[in-house]
């Protein structure tokens, strides 16, 4: 087995542990997310998905932030799952599109990045979805469904077959996560 294949398998397994624990609202999800992200940074950099490398560095930071938010004085399940306004979503989506174009343009013109605009899209919207999930905003799962479906193609295109398969699993688990969190949603 090659080093890259072993690293990809390790990152995928720890990513799955992260998502399953996240759905269950278990604080240990953040540790698995950090470990998986550290492994993924090198892998994505090596396949010239530079925005994904930045994204996984962000996942390390959001993992630390998530652990901190979820450990503040009460168990993670006591942090209320909530929704936000349509206006908030429109601003978030509009901002995400603008930032994706800017990041994609930068990597297209300044580096040898592959699929720079697609890579930037998945990266920026993953930043936004991660922030939403830390704060237990239900729509994070909808963002993840779209991002994960899109990422199947992106990873497959770059030869990361196991990651592409992981995104298929993530897509299914995102539906599960949405339904699970929706059951626990407290209407405000």
User: In 3D, which of 68, 77, 8 has the Cα closest to residue 41?
Assistant: 8
pLDDT tens-digit readout, 95-128:
999 999 999 999 999 988 888 999 899 999 999 9
Query: Phi-psi category of 167—alpha, beta or left, where left has phi over 0 and alpha has psi -120 to 50?
Result: alpha
Q: Where are the domains of the chain?
A: 3-183
Give 170's strand partners. Answer: none
What pLDDT, in 10s, does the model give residues 83-94? 999 999 999 999
How many CA atoms does the CB half-sphere of 6 hold within 13 Å?
Answer: 3
Instruction: Return the number of other C-beta atoms located less than 10 Å from residue 145's C-beta.
Output: 19
Contact 178, 141 (CB under 8 A): yes
pTM over 0.75: yes
Distance of CA 132 to the CA centre of its chain: 11
């Amino acid at each position: 087995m090659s080093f890259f294949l072993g690293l990809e398998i390790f990152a995928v397994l720890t990513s799955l542990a992260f998502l399953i624990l996240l759905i269950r609202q278990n604080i240990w999800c953040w540790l698995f997310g950090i470990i998986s992200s550290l492994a993924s940074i090198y892998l994505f950099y090596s396949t010239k998905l530079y925005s994904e490398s930045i994204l996984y560095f962000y996942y390390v930071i959001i993992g630390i932030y998530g652990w901190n938010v979820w450990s503040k004085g009460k168990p993670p399940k006591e942090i209320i799952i909530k929704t936000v306004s349509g206006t908030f979503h429109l601003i978030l989506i509009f901002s995400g599109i603008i930032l994706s174009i800017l990041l994609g343009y930068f990597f297209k013109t300044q580096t040898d990045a592959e699929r720079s605009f697609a890579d930037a899209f998945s990266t920026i919207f993953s930043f936004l979805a991660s922030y939403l999930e830390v704060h237990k905003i239900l729509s994070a799962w909808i963002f993840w469904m779209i991002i994960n479906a899109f990422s199947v193609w992106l990873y497959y295109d770059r030869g990361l077959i196991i990651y592409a398969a992981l995104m298929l699993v993530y897509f299914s688990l995102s539906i599960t996560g949405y339904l699970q969190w929706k059951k626990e949603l407290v209407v405000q």
